[in-house]
């Protein structure tokens, strides 16, 4: 996917690093596109409280495009330090306030501007957002209930998804969220989203609060589920290992205000997270990105002074 930039005359060169490949420039939209892009950000900026003393620019002039691949969704990881506007990008795609709408620029999803949230863009949050008053089954069936699907049908499908995310139908379906561990809650959150067959899945550091072992198990689960559902995933994280393991494509952001600085293409993971972490080529990519981020931060600090 080395679509040449529409703004530069010379074709970009790229650089191989381990299992990844750093693109010379962040991919831009070609016009006209052969088919609508999954997501396209064009000169997107978001400023909170513009014109006031406490005005704050979260992201400035963010440009990127995720092309639509036939019969395959891409796994896009957004990597960057805290406060670089990763979540802002995700919530702009989701159409959630107050990030939505963007101050300037346009956010397009499948060729149409984002007008508000919808079930076609499911989202999993870092904070546990299971509905406390609903059982596991009731939580997973929530979206279908809102659509008005008959109770026996939605419960049957919900039980299917309880199995898909590795929970036990007999034991867990009538449990309430407070009886679940963090990992189990996130499994419920993933099932609740995937049951609606979203074309885009937005994940905002979903495993950030989990212990390392659970986190790796969840990464493996997520890869398995994602290959089955053919959706595009946007996964925000500040763990480089997580981004390289999960991502087909990694965006690296810098702070103050947030920008997408670099884009990498990464080979898909061919083994579980625990084993992947020992592969030298995998580590090479991780170290490379670590240096890259340090370099970007040094540059940003120089600009600040």
Q: What gap in Å lies between CA 263 and CA 228, rounded to an integer?
A: 25
- Shortest approach of other proteins to residue 19 CB, angstroms? 31
144 binds other proteins (CB under 8 A): yes
Q: Give the residue ranges of DSSP H helices in 182-255.
A: 182-194, 212-229, 240-246
What token pair was written down for 288? 């490379």
Cβ-Cβ contacts under 8 Å for 68 (sequence gap 6 or more): 35, 36, 37, 38, 110
Phi and psi, residue 81, nearest 5°: -70, 170
- Total binding residues for other proteins by CB under 8 A? 41
| 136 touching other proteins, by CB under 8 A | no
Q: Which stretch in 62-70, 78-86, 93-101, 266-274 sits in contact with other proteins by CB under 8 A?
A: 93-101
User: Does residue 192 bind other proteins (CB under 8 A)?
Assistant: yes
Sheet containing strand 249-254, edge to edge, reads 14-17, 20-23, 259-266, 249-254, 75-79, 232-237, 200-204, 121-124
Figure out which of the listed residues 41, 64, 142, 245 binds other proteins, where binding follows CB under 8 A.
142
118 lies in the site for other proteins, by CB under 8 A: yes
Per the listing, tokens 């997973």 go with: 140
Q: Is 160 in the site for other proteins (CB under 8 A)?
A: yes
Q: Are 103 and 47 in contact (CB under 8 A)?
A: yes
Closer Cβ to other proteins, 97 or 302, answer by number:
97
Q: Is 221 in the site for other proteins (CB under 8 A)?
A: no
Query: Which residues in this chain contact other proteins in the complex, by CB under 8 A?
Result: 91, 94-96, 116-119, 121-123, 125, 127, 129, 131-133, 142-151, 153, 156-157, 160, 176-178, 189, 192-193, 195-197, 202
């Amino acid at each position: 996917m080395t679509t040449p930039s529409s703004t530069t005359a010379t074709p970009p060169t790229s650089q191989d690093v381990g299992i990844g490949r750093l693109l010379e420039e962040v991919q831009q939209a070609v016009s006209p596109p052969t088919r609508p892009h999954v997501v396209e950000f064009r000169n997107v900026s978001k400023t909170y409280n513009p014109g006031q003393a406490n005005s704050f620019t979260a992201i400035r002039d963010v440009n990127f495009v995720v092309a639509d691949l036939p019969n395959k969704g891409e796994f896009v990881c957004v990597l960057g330090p805290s406060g670089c506007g990763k979540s802002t990008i995700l919530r702009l795609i989701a159409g959630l306030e107050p990030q939505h709408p963007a101050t300037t620029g346009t956010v397009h999803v499948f060729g149409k501007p984002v007008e508000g949230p919808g079930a076609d863009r499911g989202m999993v949050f870092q904070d546990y957002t299971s509905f406390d008053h609903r059982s596991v089954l009731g939580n997973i069936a929530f979206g279908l209930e809102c659509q008005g699907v008959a109770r026996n049908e939605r419960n049957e499908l919900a039980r299917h998804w309880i199995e898909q995310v590795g929970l036990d139908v007999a034991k867990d379906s009538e449990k309430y969220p407070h009886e679940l561990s963090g990992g189990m809650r996130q499994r419920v959150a993933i099932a609740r989203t995937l049951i609606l067959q979203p074309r885009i899945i937005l994940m905002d550091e979903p495993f950030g609060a989990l212990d390392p072992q659970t986190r790796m198990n969840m990464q493996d689960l997520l890869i398995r589920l994602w290959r089955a559902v053919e959706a595009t995933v946007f996964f925000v994280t500040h763990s480089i290992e997580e981004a390289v393991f999960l991502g087909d494509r990694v965006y690296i952001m810098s702070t103050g205000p947030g920008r997408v600085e670099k884009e990498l293409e990464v080979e898909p993971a061919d083994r579980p997270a625990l084993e992947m972490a020992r592969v030298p080529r995998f580590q090479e990519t991780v170290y490379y990105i670590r240096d890259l981020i340090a370099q970007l931060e040094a540059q940003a600090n120089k600009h600040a002074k």
